[in-house]
Structure 1
Amino acid sequence: MENKNTILVVGQAKPSKEDAIYNLHGEFYISLIVERDTGKILELDCNTILEVTKQFVASMFVGKSLRTDVPLIEKEIRERYFALTQKPLIACMKDACNRYLTAIGENRGK
């Protein structure tokens, strides 16, 4: 994290009212440490209830790029992540990607 070429971006979305995350936090968040130049995701944390879920989500994101791999990450979420937060996770990813592109001056809109 001391690398000056890294930035932190956070994506957020509203989970369904049936999800425990909604009752505990109100919103679903992912925090990503990203290489500024490449968009490569180095670390991820999220406010899921269970640690195994955090680890699984991180395994789908870490090593991929917010510049080039967003469609790939979305496909993987749809094919592998079966929880009430599937759609909010995709929304969080897209929100984080937009924040990243804004931070580096390349925001192309939603």
Structure 2
Amino acid sequence: MYKDDTILVVGQAKPSKEDAIYSLHGEFYVSFVVERATGKILDLECNTILSVTRNFVVSMLLGKSLKTDLDEMQQSIRERYFALTQKPLIACLKDAHNRYMMVTGQK
């Protein structure tokens, strides 16, 4: 399904105890399929409760780069995503960025 030049990078964070994700999963996860060289996000999935939330996150991040677009993605989340998981989503993004940079030898 995915080409050989792609990698899977997962970011995780702890949601607030008030969020249903905490009750169901305990952690908030976002899995990214990215091009190894560019960090371009080709696919992603997160463990949100509602599909509309997942679809909205996908629409904000798909096509961006974990390598170069971290600030832009964080700003988009702050300006457009108003849920209890706003901070955990940003934390997941930063975690995934750091993992990407480590596994590609860029950090």
Q: TM bucket by the smaller chain?
A: over 0.9
**For residues 63 and 97 of structure 2, what CA distance do their matches in structure 1 show?**
15
Specify the code of the residue in structure 1 equivalent to 2:6. T
Question: How many matched pairs?
Answer: 107
C-alpha deviations, 1:2-57, integer Å up to 9, x for none? Answer: 31100000000000000000000000000000000000000010000000100000
Give aligned-pair identity as a percent: 69
C-alpha deviations, 1:77-105, integer Å up to 9, x for none? Answer: 00000000000000000000001011101
Partner of 2:60: 60
**For residues 43 and 26 of structure 1, what CA distance do their matches in structure 2 show?**
23
SS in 2 for 1:63: coil
Gaps of 5+ in 1: none
**For residues 56 and 105 of structure 2, what CA distance do their matches in structure 1 show?**
31
SS in 2 for 1:10: strand
Partner of 1:10: 10
Is 2:43 the partner of 1:38?
no
TM-score by length of 1: 0.95
Specify the code of the residue in structure 2 equivalent to 1:58. V
Gaps of 5+ in 2: none
